[in-house]
């Protein structure tokens, strides 16, 4: 189980409060699909994913990205119980969506990169380290119910 210090929790929560979830979600999912093209395999119904600009401008990508990042907000609120928080979503991603959990790690790292680009100087190495713990914890929690 991941353990967060009080400072890490405060730092993570503080930054999260400033994130535009809708924009960042679309950007995160879009970048995942651009940089790791095999992830497009889960989104055949999304229409035009033929180029970076098509992907980043695709309304379904933006909408789904917002959904994913909104869900990530639950992680920020429940850092002490990530496995419990994501149990149902873990089952969904295994049983219905059949997503390789390795892709959760990739998305987590893409999110960290986006935070760095949005927050610049504020995204110190220490803050990044706390966020890496969180995204790793979420990826593990989402993989937890796989069988």
Partner 1 sequence: MVLEAADRAAVRALWLKLGSNVGVYTTEALERTFLAFPSTKTYFLHLDLSPGSAQVRAHGQKVADALTLAVDHLDDLPSALSALRELHAHKLRVNPVKFQLLVHCLLVTLARHYPGDFSPSLQASLNKFLSHVISALAPNCH
Looking at the Cβ atoms of 90 and 130, the one nearer to partner 1 is 130
The verdict on 74 binding partner 1 (CB under 8 A) reads: no
The verdict on 118 binding partner 1 (CB under 8 A) reads: yes
The verdict on 116 binding partner 1 (CB under 8 A) reads: yes
**Exactly one of 3, 96, 121, 147 binds partner 1 (CB under 8 A); which one?**
121
Q: What does the H/E/C string look like for the chain? A: CCCCCHHHHHHHHHHHCCCCHHHHHHHHHHHHHHHCHHHHHHCHHHCCCCCHHHHHHCHHHHHHHHHHHHHHHHHHHCCCCHHHHCHHHHHHHHHHCCCCCHHHHHHHHHHHHHHHHHHHHHCCHHHHHHHHHHHHHHHHHHHCCCC
The verdict on 35 binding partner 1 (CB under 8 A) reads: yes
String marking each residue 10-29 x if it binds partner 1 according to CB under 8 A: --------------------
Q: How far is the CB of 129 from partner 1 (least distance, A)?
A: 4
Q: Which residues bind partner 1 (CB under 8 A)?
A: 30-31, 34-35, 52, 55-56, 109, 112-114, 116-121, 123, 125-126, 128-129, 132
């Amino acid at each position: 189980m991941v353990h967060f210090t009080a400072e890490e929790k405060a730092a993570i929560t503080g930054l999260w409060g400033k994130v535009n979830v809708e924009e960042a979600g679309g950007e995160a999912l879009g970048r995942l699909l651009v940089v790791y093209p095999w992830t497009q395999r889960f989104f055949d119904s999304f229409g035009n994913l033929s180029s970076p600009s098509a992907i980043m401008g695709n309304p379904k990508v933006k909408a789904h990205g917002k959904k994913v990042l909104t869900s990530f907000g639950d992680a920020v609120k429940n850092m002490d119980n990530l496995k419990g928080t994501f149990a149902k979503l873990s089952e969904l991603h295994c049983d219905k969506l059949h997503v390789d959990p390795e892709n959760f790690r990739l998305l987590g790292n893409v999110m960290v990169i986006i935070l760095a680009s949005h927050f610049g100087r504020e995204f110190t190495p220490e803050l990044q380290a706390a966020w890496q713990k969180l995204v790793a914890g979420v990826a593990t929690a989402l993989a937890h119910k796989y069988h």
